[in-house]
Amino acid sequence: MRWAIEGLEMTRAHLWKVEMDADQFRVNAYSEIEREKLNLINSTYNILEQLENYKNETIYFKQQRAINQVQQRVFQQAL
């Protein structure tokens, strides 16, 4: 009977260790998910910021082209 109690105690100790390991695994996995989520948010923000800069550059170049075209017409009409 004593060997059965000792076996049960060993099994309980092993179960406790496995549960602790599983809890630690869940915590680590959750932390990794949160890090990846933050990285994705930051990456998306950087891409959006870059797209905004490209948009502004495109607008500027189109404005400059329009100004140059108007200046050319004015000079042609002045001649």
Q: How many CA atoms lie within 13 A of 71 on its CB side?
A: 6
Question: 0.85 cut: is pTM over it?
Answer: no
Which tens digits make up the pLDDT trace of 1-48? Answer: 888 889 899 999 999 999 999 999 999 999 999 999 999 999 999 999
Q: In the structure encoding, which two tokens stand for residue 40, read together?
A: 């994705």
Cα separation values, 53 from 18, 35, 48, 72, Å = 52, 27, 9, 28
Widest distance between CA atoms in the chain: 116
pLDDT of residue 70: 97
Residue 24's contacts (CB-CB under 8 Å, 6 or more residues apart) are: none
Which tens digits make up the pLDDT trace of 39-75? Answer: 999 999 999 999 999 999 999 999 999 999 999 999 9
Per-residue pLDDT at 78 exceeds 90: no
